[in-house]
Every structure is written in C-alpha cells, then in structure tokens.
C-alpha cells in the first residue's frame, strides 16, 4: 500500500462474534466521544419482494416502528429521544436498516428496543392499514405529484433489466399495497427478519466485554429461524440498445437518462471501483467532463448528473446495477444531440484522454467525502454494517478511501470502455405540461 493509501485507511478496531440464533454482531469501539450508535441491518430489500407485493419491504420498515411485544406504539421514539438520541430506518435494494445514536450510557436501552422488535413487532390489522395509508401518501408526495418523481430511479430499471427483482417498482403499486394482509406481513417477518438474517453493528464509546454481555442478554433469547438464501439478482449483460419514452405533465423541461451495466459490485470489486471514479469524473463538480461539455460549452443542457447504484451509493448494492447519467435539457434541444455528446465524452476517456492530475482531483474529492461520512460515530457504524451485510466484511468500509486512491487512469479508461453505446438503456422523458 502507498503511504497515501495507508493514511486513508481507518484504524478503528472491529470485533465480531455470533449468537447461537445466528445473529452476527460487529463492534467498533471508539472511546473518543461519549456516544454510541446501534444499527440492525436485515438482509432483505426491495429485490426480495415477491410478485404481487411490490413495495412490501418499505411497508414493513414502517411496520417495525409501530411497537413491539414490550414497547407500545410511539414508545420507541420517546425512549430514544428522552435519552437525547436520534433514530431512523431506511429500505434499500438489498437490505433494510434501523439505527439510533445516543449517549453511551443509554446503550442498553437501544439494545433492548432493537431486540424487542426483532423478536415480536406489533403486526396488527390496525397498524398495517395505517401504514399502508402512510406509504401511499409518501408515493403521492414523492412520486405522483412531483416533477420527475419516478425519473429515472423507478422507470429506467424497467428498460435496463429483465427480471422482476430488478424491474419492479420498489415503492409499490397502490393495488399491491392495499391488498396486503396481516398474514403477508407475518410471513414476511418470519421469513426475512430472523436473527440469522441480520447484522447488529454497534460503534462508539463502548467496552467490548460489557457490550457483548448486554447483546447476549437481550438478543440471545430471540428465537432462531431458518434463513432464506440471498436472491440471485445478477443478469446477463445486454447485447443491444434498449429504449423507452415516458411523459411527465409536471416536468418543466424534458430529460433523458442513460444506464449502463457495470461490473459486479461484490464479485468484481476492484474493477467496479474504476467505474465509481468514472462516474465522478464525468459529472461531479464544475470542472467535470459533462458539466463542461453539456452546460458550459455546447449549452445543450440545464443540469446533469452521473452515479452508480439505484440510490447513488455505490457501496451498498449487489449485482446487477447501473451507472446512470441523467440530463435535463431545453425543449428545443433534440435528445439525439444530448446522447451523442455524452457518448463522445465517454469515448474520449476510453481512448485515453484522462490524466493523473484530473483523476487525482476526483479521487481526493471522493476520498474526502468518504472520510467525512466516517467522521461521526453513526456514519462510521452504518458504513461498517453495510459492508458486513453486503460484502461480508465490515473492515472494507474503512479501506474504501485507500483503495480508491490506488485506482489508475488505465483502470478508469477500462471502465469507460465498458460503457458501450450499443448496449446502453435509454429513457427519454417528455415534458407534456405545456401542451395545449
């Protein structure tokens, strides 16, 4: 490892053990501040949803906040906030997580709360109906009544992929949500929320031996259940261009999204890192390739961005996934002109038009962002947990900045060569609000 790479590696120790019920536990002690973060990552996300139950992973995340066997509804929030802490949860393609950050003396409180809902969330008809209504309102606000609400994150995968796991609407259809039953929720919990399908990651001001004792006290009694296999979500790489068109009556300007399949984020990780930096080089900052070309030089775009992964976090996803470039452009600019300019810029990189200085600036910015995220106890704990659930190795989170620092211009050029214009998925959005 280079000296720079060594300096970028997080040196926080990581301890791990497992319980008899299968729960994997990762401890990341840091006694520098009197704060702890407690996170539980379940190996179930949007891609696990069965046909007819789109949006169920996200719906069940809501259900997990509705109380549990020994914690009445709203009491989880009250107990965390009364201790001076914060809490939340989120649903991703490949996992769902729950987390809180609190003063270190409240560690046992957080462990009790998470263990109680791991053992027995309050799955009732009243809670289910209430949360279905909440999720439907989220969809109305965030998707149906918002310009570009589904673009491109819900719409591009339908073109780029073939399998239900990769193409369906992870937010969920109203029909699927409304037809969900308590039996569906109980089955989902039994199948995917087993302790053997979870990672408990605790970081911050903790004593390892005492924390292990508390973990065993509260999580040890949770019943072991069979763990489902991780779904195979990889797909053969496309061999042709795929394209589609959507209309948006709320959008003020047209847009286009391009999606290229990228290397396996887990099985081909080193090659994948070159793609991550390529996305940054293309679009991040005023000096980026597409910002200069599309907006400042050719003046054919209003805004542009490129990112890897459905939600723009390249390190929390398994195969298959995309590098997405989206461009918003004026009405009078043909979409073909925008596409041609994007492909030309990618081709320039593929042909060797990237130097060590330009790449170094991109690496420095990306590394700084990763280190900022890891600076807080909660950010670092979430990073370790995600690396453990996706890659099976929490320590990877502390190595990301150093590994990105070692990527060469040749590796970024190779990543650009993978962005073949003959295998791209293209989604055109037409802004129809101004039609008479």
CB burial readout 210-227, b (16+ within 10 A) else e: ebbebbeebbeebeebee
CATH number of the domain bearing residue 60: 3.30.830.10
Number of alpha carbons in the 13 Å side-chain half-sphere of residue 402:
16
Residue reference for tokens 């990341």: 28
Q: How confident is the model at residue 98 (pLDDT cuts 50, 70, 90)?
A: very high
Does position 11 have pLDDT exceeding 90, yes or no?
A: no
pLDDT tens column, 276-323: 999 999 999 888 999 999 999 999 999 999 999 988 889 999 999 999
Nearest in space to 106 (alpha carbons), one of 19, 204, 197: 204
| 35 beta partners | 103
- Count of domains in the chain? 2
pLDDT at 124: 97
> Are residues 200 and 287 both part of a single domain?
no
Q: How confident is the model at residue 436 (pLDDT cuts 50, 70, 90)?
A: very low
Does position 345 have pLDDT exceeding 60, yes or no?
A: yes
Contacts of residue 216, Cβ cutoff 8 Å, sequence gap at least 6: 19
- Which of 219, 251, 270 is the last residue before a domain boundary? 219
User: Does any domain span residue 114?
Assistant: yes
> Are residues 8 and 106 both part of a single domain?
yes
Q: Are 113 and 93 in contact (CB under 8 A)?
A: no
> Are residues 213 and 247 both part of a single domain?
no
DSSP assigned state of 148:
T
Does position 36 have pLDDT exceeding 50, yes or no?
A: yes
pLDDT at 353: 80
Q: Are 26 and 386 in contact (CB under 8 A)?
A: no
User: Does any domain span residue 255?
Assistant: yes
Q: How wide is the angle at C-alpha 24 spanned by C-alphas 22 and 30, nearest 5°?
A: 155
> Are residues 205 and 297 both part of a single domain?
no
> Are residues 342 and 396 both part of a single domain?
yes
Q: What pTM, to 2 d.p., does this model score?
A: 0.95
User: Does any domain span residue 436?
Assistant: no
pLDDT tens column, 46-78: 999 999 999 999 999 999 999 999 999 999 999
Q: What is d(CA 182, CA 368) in angstroms, rounded to the nearest whole number?
A: 45
> Are residues 370 and 291 both part of a single domain?
yes
User: Does any domain span residue 228?
Assistant: no
Q: What is d(CA 401, CA 416) in angstroms, rounded to the nearest whole number?
A: 21
- Which of 161, 187, 219 is the last residue before a domain boundary? 219
Does position 397 have pLDDT exceeding 70, yes or no?
A: yes
For the segment 87-98, the average pLDDT, to the nearest whole number, is: 97
> Are residues 26 and 75 both part of a single domain?
yes
Kindly state the tokens that stand for 72: 């009445």
Kindly state the tokens that stand for 215: 């973990």
User: Does any domain span residue 206?
Assistant: yes
User: Does any domain span residue 231?
Assistant: no
> Are residues 61 and 106 both part of a single domain?
yes
The phi, psi pair for 384, rounded to 5°, reads -60, -45
Kindly state the tokens that stand for 290: 């597409």
CB burial readout 15-38, b (16+ within 10 A) else e: bbeebebbbbbbbbbbeeeebbbb
> Are residues 427 and 384 both part of a single domain?
yes
Q: Are 88 and 40 in contact (CB under 8 A)?
A: no
Report how far Cα 154 is from the mean position of its chain's Cα atoms. Answer: 14
User: Does any domain span residue 232?
Assistant: no
> Are residues 275 and 213 both part of a single domain?
no
User: Does any domain span residue 236?
Assistant: no
Q: How confident is the model at residue 1 (pLDDT cuts 50, 70, 90)?
A: very low
Q: What is the residue range of 39's domain?
A: 3-219
Q: What is d(CA 257, CA 154) in angstroms, rounded to the nearest whole number?
A: 12
- Which of 153, 185, 219 is the last residue before a domain boundary? 219
> Are residues 46 and 109 both part of a single domain?
yes
> Are residues 76 and 161 both part of a single domain?
yes
For the segment 250-270, the average pLDDT, to the nearest whole number, is: 97
pLDDT at 3: 42
């Amino acid at each position: 490892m280079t000296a720079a790479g060594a300096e970028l590696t997080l040196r926080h120790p990581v301890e791990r053990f497992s319980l008899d019920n299968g729960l994997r536990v990762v401890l990341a002690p840091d006694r520098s501040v009197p704060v702890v973060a407690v996170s539980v990552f379940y190996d179930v996300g949007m891609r696990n949803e069965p046909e007819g139950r789109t949006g169920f992973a996200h719906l069940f995340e809501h259900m997990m906040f509705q109380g549990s066997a020994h914690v009445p509804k709203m009491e989880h929030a009250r107990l965390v906030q009364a201790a001076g802490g914060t809490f939340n949860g989120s649903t991703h393609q490949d996992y769902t997580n729950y987390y809180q950050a609190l003063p270190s003396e409240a560690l046992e409180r957080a462990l009790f709360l998470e263990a109680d809902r791991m053992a027995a969330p309050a799955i009732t008809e009243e809670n289910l109906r209430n949360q279905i209504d909440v999720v439907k309102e989220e969809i109305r606000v965030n998707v149906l009544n918002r310009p570009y609400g589904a673009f491109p994150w819900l719409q591009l995968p339908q073109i780029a992929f073939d399998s239900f796991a990769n193409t369906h609407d992870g937010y969920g259809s109203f029909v699927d949500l409304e037809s969900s039953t308590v039996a569906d929720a109980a089955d989902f919990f039994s199948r995917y929320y087993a302790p053997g399908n979870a990672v408990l990651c605790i970081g911050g001001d903790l004593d390892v031996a005492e924390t292990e004792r508390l973990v065993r006290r509260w999580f040890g009694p949770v019943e072991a259940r069979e763990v489902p296999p991780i779904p195979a979500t990889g797909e053969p790489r496309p061999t042709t261009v795929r394209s589609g068109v959507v209309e948006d009556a709320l959008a003020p300007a047209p847009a286009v999204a391009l999606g290229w399949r990228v290397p396996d984020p887990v099985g081909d990780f080193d090659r994948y890192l070159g793609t991550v930096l390529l996305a940054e080089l293309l679009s991040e900052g005023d000096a980026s390739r597409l910002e200069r070309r599309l907006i400042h030089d050719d003046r054919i775009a209003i805004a542009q961005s490129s990112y890897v992964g459905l939600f723009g976090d390249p390190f929390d996803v398994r195969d298959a996934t995309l590098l997405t470039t989206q461009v918003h452009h004026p009405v009078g600019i043909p979409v073909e002109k925008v596409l041609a300019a994007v492909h030309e810029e990618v081709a320039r990189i593929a042909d060797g038009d990237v130097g060590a200085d330009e790449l170094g600036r991109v690496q420095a910015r990306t590394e700084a962002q990763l280190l900022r995220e890891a600076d807080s106890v909660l950010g670092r704990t979430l990073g370790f947990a995600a690396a453990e659930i996706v890659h099976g190795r929490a320590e990877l989170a502390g190595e990301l900045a150093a590994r990105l620092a070692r990527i060469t211009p040749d590796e970024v050029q190779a990543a650009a060569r993978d962005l073949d214009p003959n295998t791209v998925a293209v989604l055109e959005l037409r802004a129809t609000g101004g039609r008479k």
